[in-house]
């Protein structure tokens, strides 16, 4: 038996002993994707966390995702296998920054991307993910919105909802913000029949040159349903691995060099195993913050 097979078998045993479930984000390393009970984008995983019946959730992703699961499912024990798996974008805005924005725009509602801290969510009216940001902004009862922290996602939403005024913050994802329009154009020349699909965290000029702007699971659905055979995909490499596995007859080409989120890649299968066997790392959220952040998260689940 290989080391991977042994680990997988032990994980199965531990899961049944502890009545646990493994949720994994689409950017996880392939061995972790394959060990997951549910694989998805931020919105799918939030919904799943809110509806699970098991006692323990192992969240293979980054910290804000495990915190979201804990807030939406407070009675469960939520474990994050690596405490150092954070999202740098989530730490770019402070509560003081947000309060300052609120004082400058007192009539605006606050829409916060889930890639944010629990303290920021607690000061927000409603959260969103990359897959429902446009829906949330379109449908909330406000003409003026403070949209934080991702400026690129905010610019995309502003373009899609021109009737509302968005005030943006200068946060960004270091993985997607580096993607260049020239890389996409060079790939289009080499693959003229390919569809170009990009995540909304890319810079505006990259989104403008794309055929589709989609969340990670939105991209996955799109490639599964499209008649095209080739896709230039501008997002983290983990999703391309899932696309290849689930669509063996189609070709998926990264936009330039493969894009890697080192935070998402920290969690190995061994970490998932140790998380279950050593009960680590338990995610706790201050109850008063969780109550307020939970309101913004549950509000989001009403919209899409």
Closest contact distance (angstroms) between CB of 131 and ligand 13P is: 6
Q: Which residues in 262-301 contact ligand SF4 (CB under 6 A)?
A: 263-264
Q: Which residues in 115-144 contact ligand SF4 (CB under 6 A)?
A: 115
Closest contact distance (angstroms) between CB of 199 and ligand 13P is: 6
Should residue 112 be labelled a site residue for ligand 13P when binding is judged by CB under 6 A?
A: no
Among 23, 26, 49, 195, binds ligand 13P (CB under 6 A): 26
Closest contact distance (angstroms) between CB of 38 and ligand 13P is: 13
* Count of C-beta atoms within a 10 Å radius of residue 5: 9
Q: Which residues in 230-269 contact ligand SF4 (CB under 6 A)?
A: 236, 261, 263-264
Should residue 263 be labelled a site residue for ligand 13P when binding is judged by CB under 6 A?
A: no
Closest contact distance (angstroms) between CB of 265 and ligand 13P is: 13
Should residue 216 be labelled a site residue for ligand 13P when binding is judged by CB under 6 A?
A: yes
Should residue 201 be labelled a site residue for ligand 13P when binding is judged by CB under 6 A?
A: yes
Binding segment toward ligand 13P, per CB under 6 A, in 47-55, 125-133, 246-254, 270-278: 125-133
| CA pair distance 269, 290, nearest whole angstrom | 29
Should residue 62 be labelled a site residue for ligand SF4 when binding is judged by CB under 6 A?
A: yes
Should residue 92 be labelled a site residue for ligand SF4 when binding is judged by CB under 6 A?
A: no
């Amino acid at each position: 038996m290989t080391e991977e097979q042994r680990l997988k078998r032990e994980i199965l045993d531990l899961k049944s002993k502890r009545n646990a479930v493994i949720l994994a984000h689409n950017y996880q390393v392939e061995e972790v994707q394959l060990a997951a009970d549910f694989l998805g984008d931020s919105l799918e995983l939030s919904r799943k966390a809110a509806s699970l019946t098991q006692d323990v959730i192992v969240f293979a992703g980054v910290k804000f995702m495990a915190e979201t699961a804990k807030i939406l499912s407070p009675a469960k024990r939520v474990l994050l296998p690596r405490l150092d798996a954070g999202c740098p974008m989530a730490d770019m805005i402070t509560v003081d920054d947000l309060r300052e924005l609120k004082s400058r725009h007192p009539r605006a509602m606050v829409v916060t991307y889930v890639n944010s801290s629990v303290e920021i969510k607690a000061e927000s009216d409603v959260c969103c993910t990359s897959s429902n940001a446009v829906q949330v902004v379109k449908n909330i009862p406000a003409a003026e919105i403070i949209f934080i922290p991702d400026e690129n996602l905010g610019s995309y939403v502003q373009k899609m909802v021109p009737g509302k005024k968005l005030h943006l913050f200068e946060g960004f994802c270091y993985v997607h913000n580096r993607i260049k329009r020239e890389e996409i154009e060079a790939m289009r020349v080499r693959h003229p029949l390919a569809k170009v699909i990009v995540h909304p965290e890319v810079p505006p000029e990259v989104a403008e040159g794309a055929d589709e702007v989609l969340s990670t699971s939105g991209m996955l659905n799109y490639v599964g349903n499209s008649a095209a055979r080739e896709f230039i995909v501008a997002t983290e490499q983990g999703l391309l691995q899932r696309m290849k596995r689930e669509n063996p007859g189609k070709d998926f080409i990264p936009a330039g060099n493969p894009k890697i989120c080192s935070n998402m890649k920290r969690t190995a299968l061994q970490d998932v195993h140790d998380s279950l066997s050593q009960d680590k790392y338990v995610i706790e959220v201050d109850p008063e913050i969780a109550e307020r952040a939970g309101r913004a998260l549950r509000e989001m689940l009403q919209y899409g």
